[in-house]
Amino acid sequence: MTELQRAPQPGAEDLTDHLRDRWSVSVFDDSHELTTDEVRRLLTAAQWAPSAGNSQPWSFLVATRGSVAHDVLVKHLSRGNSGWVPRASAVFITLAQVAEDPEGNGPKWPTYSYYDLGQAAAHLTVQAAAMGLASHQFAGFDHDAVAADLDVPAWWQVMTGIAVGVRGNPADVDPRDAEREDRERTRRPLSQIAFGERWGVAWEG
């Protein structure tokens, strides 16, 4: 599959470049490292996402390849993710605050914590694309084991990992991991997701 075929299409030609550039890379260069400044910039993109009541109910465990947090995560990856995730330069483990802490501090509207974290994650991945970096989010790991091993308090919920790095050579990885990148990228049509007159009636634009 060519880079162009990986871009969302048809109908998405006019999206901003960084949205068009983003796709979930599964072959990372395992010799690449992110600089501290790059990691800070990615976190800053997430930090500046909007949230309900500006509650910012998100946090991130920065697991750079070779760090203690990374070793813990790698141990608990699902089989399908255990080949490609460890090669990324860093994994941002995302967490949502879903209840008050023992001092009574917490998200004003916990219902929106997941929404807000997802938005922060999206900002991070689009910032990554703008920096020429590849990313791939994943939920396939043992969340409880990661939370326990990394001392996550009960009022925070481990949600996903965001693997970030640069794309590697498919010839360097297990063919099953290389093949993941050749899957066609598809989306439901707008007529199924955008409604006008009322729910279920396709928006006519």
Ligand X SMILES: Cc1cc2nc3c(=O)[nH]c(=O)nc-3n(C[C@H](O)[C@H](O)[C@H](O)COP(=O)(O)O)c2cc1C
What is the Cα–Cα distance from 135 to 164, expressed in whole angstroms? 4
In the range 159-178, which residues lie near ligand X by CB under 6 A?
Answer: 160
CB 156, CB 98: distance < 8 Å: yes
Candidates 185, 176, 171, 129; CA nearest to 29 is 171
The answer to whether residue 24 forms part of the interface with ligand X (CB under 6 A) is: yes
The answer to whether residue 139 forms part of the interface with ligand X (CB under 6 A) is: yes
> Looking at 44-52, 98-106, 132-140, 193-201, which segment touches ligand X (CB under 6 A)?
132-140
Nearer to ligand X (CB atom), residue 23 or residue 109: 23
What is the Cα–Cα distance from 162 to 184, expressed in whole angstroms? 21
> Looking at 27-35, 92-100, 137-145, 147-155, which segment touches ligand X (CB under 6 A)?
137-145
Binding ligand X (rule: CB under 6 A), the pick from 62, 140, 167, 172 is: 140
The answer to whether residue 58 forms part of the interface with ligand X (CB under 6 A) is: no
Q: Using alpha carbons only, what angle is made at residue 143 by residues 139 and 144, rounded to the nearest 5 degrees?
A: 165
The answer to whether residue 81 forms part of the interface with ligand X (CB under 6 A) is: yes
In whole angstroms, the minimum distance from the beta carbon of 160 to ligand X comes to 5
Instruction: Identify the three-state secondary structure at position 157.
Output: strand
In whole angstroms, the minimum distance from the beta carbon of 187 to ligand X comes to 8
What is the Cα–Cα distance from 164 to 129, expressed in whole angstroms? 10
The answer to whether residue 83 forms part of the interface with ligand X (CB under 6 A) is: no
In whole angstroms, the minimum distance from the beta carbon of 139 to ligand X comes to 4
H helices of the chain, in order, are 3-6, 17-21, 36-47, 68-75, 113-130, 143-149, 175-180, 190-193
Per CB under 6 A, residues contacting ligand X are 23-24, 81, 137-140, 160, 185
